[in-house]
Structure 1
Amino acid sequence: MSKILITGGAGFIGTNLAEHMEAQGNEVLILDKRKSKFSPSIRADVTKKNWHSKVGKPEIIYHLAAIVGVDYVSTHPFETMNTEIMGINNVIKFAERTRPEKIIFSSTSAVYGTALPNQFLSEDIKTFPITSYATAKIMAEHYLKEMKKIHNIDFTVLRYFNAYGKYQDPKMVIARFMEAAKESKPIVVFNNGEQTRDFTYIDDVMKATELVAFTDKTNSQIINVGTGVATKIRDVALLVKKISGSQSKILFEKPPEPREHFEIQRRVCDKRRLKKLIGFECKTTLSQGLKKLMQEQ
């Protein structure tokens, strides 16, 4: 059993991670501005330092706290970057004093920008962030690398590819499609729906996130977490309709301002590093994941 701190533990990934790690017998403490489903938890802002004296000495820190959501990020770039940079700064300052075994940082596939046709995004390629969110994630990744050199604190960076599952923000694409289908309302797809994403079921995301914490093989590594399967957004809408039995119509609309300026055409991961380092693959298909998610609701 390990003592684990999860910043941003009231969010989508954080709530699932707290549930998962507690089920494995770990002692979990959540830090978040929002109320958490789990206890113990501390209501605090990661960008402030007043939480440092309240959390003891965790062995593992999962730093997930961030501003999320394309619409909010695109209209609040300064808040987005400030939360990311001040958050990672405070986590590192805390780690300098408490000396955890490792920090696992939640990054994003958005750091890559748009992939070329038939390209699988490797951790080693040049990043091309087009949002304040992705730019701030890259800055935080570099901060962790410097921390390792100066203070010898181990870290692992996880670049998640379109995770979906229970507790997801209702504004996210799969949650939005499922809610529309459930209520027999139109399923709204932005643009022509030819954009592709790598949808990764939350149970696979949790297993990968757990395993990287407890092996030296992942130290100082940046690792993609995805299936390596590209799915068109329009096909997601069709699959949601099919599995749910919904009669909803599918509508294609122009995305709202300023979201349309940040639309990515293709994003799918090269998943080989994850398998090489920990022997695990994200194998749940989108169809399987959607069926599980619908059963849970």
Structure 2
Amino acid sequence: MSRVLITGGSGFIGTNLVDYHLKNGDIVCSLDNVEPRNKGHNPYYKKVNLLHKEGILKAFKEFQPDYIYHLAARTDLNGAAEQDYLANTVGLENVIECCNQLPQLKRVVFSSSRLVCKIGYSPKNYEDYCPTTAYGYSKVYGEKIIKEMPGRNWSWCIVRPTSIWGPWFSVPYRNFFNAVQKGVYFHPMNLKVLKSFGYVGNTVYQLANLMEASLEKVNKKTFYLGDYDPIDVYPFAKLIAHEFGSRDPFQIPIFFLISLAKIGDIFQKFGFSAPLTSFRLSNLNTPMLHDLHDLQGVIGPLPYDLKSGIKETVLWMKGEK
């Protein structure tokens, strides 16, 4: 039994991680600035703002964690400048300073983002950055803050979640599942798109095992989080449709999707929501592959295959309604 503290415990991955450690019999504290999306987690929740160092320190010292997952961050892409993402930089510095005042702390897992590089870019190494958004830049700066820390009494590693999906998810992958269920997802005809995705049940298993792995395997290292084998988007969508009992998604010519996306751009320009824009279409069509062999070498086999992950997710979605 360990004392596990999770910042961002009300988020998607955080919610699943709280569940994982509670089922494991650990003593859990969840810190966030919003209430838990799983109301069963209310007894373990404390409201904390990353920009208020005194509040963080108070919560840390009261709980005295053995292990900390730092998942809390501003993650949307709506900010125009790095100043909009102070939670990811100043907030991170606050967390690190507070960690240094916990003599019993053993390890911290810091969550970064795959968007430290633009979609489709294959970095040469973990110091090869190529962000295109203010959010991505804030995460690059955050990684540098962590890597440039002076020596600590606790070990650490950085994780970059890929496209994670599963129970308790929201935008954008919840929208994808909804579109497939309703029969309104359209895939470009004859286009094979491979992407590094991850079922959240596997993701929290990976996180927990990174926390427990031997020092030489993880300390001061960076890992992408995701299922080891990439998914092909159209067969993935078909499996989701079959689990819902829906028809197979339509495949339509790419030029038609481009036309629809341009119409969506016009709607978006005037402040209206559009299901398809040129930006979203580009993301859909662009392969997104990450090398997870180093993570696989540390973690080994995962508990869920693709079909079982989809089944668990669809059951959760049906139960939520």
Specify if TM > 0.5: yes
Matches of 2:48 and 2:4, distance apart in 1: 17
Q: Which residue in 2 is equivalent to 1:17?
A: 17
Partner residue in 2 for 1:199:
197
In structure 1, what is the equivalent of residue 290 of structure 2? 269
Is the 8 Å Cα contact of residues 60 and 102 (structure 1) preserved in structure 2? yes
Match of 2:140 among 119, 138, 143: 138
3-state DSSP class of the match of 1:50?
Answer: helix
What is the CA distance between 1:91 and its match in structure 2?
A: 0.4
- Deviation string 1:235-277 (CA, Å, 9 cap, x unpaired) is 443332233221486584426559855854221221111122x
User: Given the two structures, how large is their TM-score scaled by the length of structure 1?
Assistant: 0.83
- Structure 1 stretches of 5 or more lacking a match? none
Deviations 1:31-50 (A, max 9, x none): 11111231221112112223
Amino acid at match of 1:292: E
Residues 91-120 of structure 1: CA distance to partner in whole angstroms, max 9, x if unpaired? 01101212421110111222232346xx6x
* Structure 1 pair 133–282 and aligned structure 2 pair: CA distance change class (3 A): farther
1:241-260 equivalences under 5 Å are 241-247=241-247, 250=250, 252=257, 253-254=260-261, 260=278
| 2:66 aligned to which of 46, 49, 59 | 59
Amino acid at match of 1:202: V
Is the aligned partner of 1:45 residue 2:49? Answer: yes
Q: Secondary structure at the match of 1:74?
A: coil
Comparing 283-292 with 127-136, greater Cα deviation is found at 283-292
Distance, in Å, in 1 between the alignment partners of 2:44 and 2:303 is 32
CA contact (8 A) 1:7 1:63 kept: yes
Question: Structure 2 counterpart of 1:179, which letter?
Answer: N
1:5 has 2:12 as partner:
no
CA-CA distance at 1:281 after TM superposition: 3.9
> C-alpha deviations, 1:4-42, integer Å up to 9, x for none?
111110000100001101111111111111112312211
CA distance in 2 between partners of 1:207 and 1:220 (Å): 20
Task: Letter of the 1:294 partner, please give it.
Answer: V
Q: Kindly provide the CA deviation profile for residues 179-229 of structure 1, in whole angstroms up to 9, marking residues without a partner as x.
A: 2344x3522669997654211111111111001112312111101222243
Distance 1:193 1:77 in 2: 35
- What CA distance in whole angstroms lies between the structure 1 residues aligned with 2:34 and 2:191? 34
In 2, the alpha carbon distance for the partners of 1:4 and 1:155 equals: 14
Quick one: distance in 2 between partners of 1:17 and 1:65?
A: 13
Call closer, same or farther: CA 1:122–1:234 in 2, change over 3 Å: farther
Between the aligned partners of 1:142 and 1:188, the Cα distance in structure 2 is 40
Residue 310 of structure 2: aligned partner: 290
1:279 Cα deviation from its structure 2 partner: 3.8
Rg larger in structure: 2
User: Residue 283 and residue 82 in structure 1: after superposition, are their counterparts in 2 closer, same or farther (change >3 A)?
Assistant: same
Distance 1:126 1:53, change over 3 A: same
Aligned-CA RMSD value = 2.9
What is the Cα deviation at residue 178 of structure 1? Answer: 2.3
Task: Point out which structure has higher relative CO (alpha carbons under 8 A, 6+ apart).
Answer: 1
Q: Which amino acid aligns with 2:196?
A: D
Give the Cα–Cα distance (whole angstroms) in 2 for the partners of residues 288 and 90 of structure 1. Answer: 39
> What do residues 131-156 of structure 1 show as CA deviations (whole Å, max 9, x unaligned)?
22222112111111222x34454211
Check the 8 A contact 2:228/2:292 in 1, yes or no.
Answer: yes
In the aligned structure 2, how far is the partner of 1:221 from the partner of 1:193?
35
Corresponding letter in the other structure for 2:206: A
Q: Is the 8 A contact 1:192 1:234 kept in 2?
A: no
One-letter code of the match for 1:289? Answer: G
TM-score, length-scaled by structure 2: 0.78
The residue type paired with residue 87 of structure 1 is G
CA distance in 2, matches of 1:109, 1:282: 21
Q: Secondary structure at the match of 2:77?
A: helix
Residue 162 (structure 2) aligns with? 161
Mapping of 1:117-196 within 5 angstroms? 123-124=125-126, 126-147=128-149, 149-169=150-170, 171-173=171-173, 175-182=174-181, 184=182, 186-187=184-185, 195-196=193-194
Higher mean Cα deviation, 241-250 or 51-60? Answer: 241-250
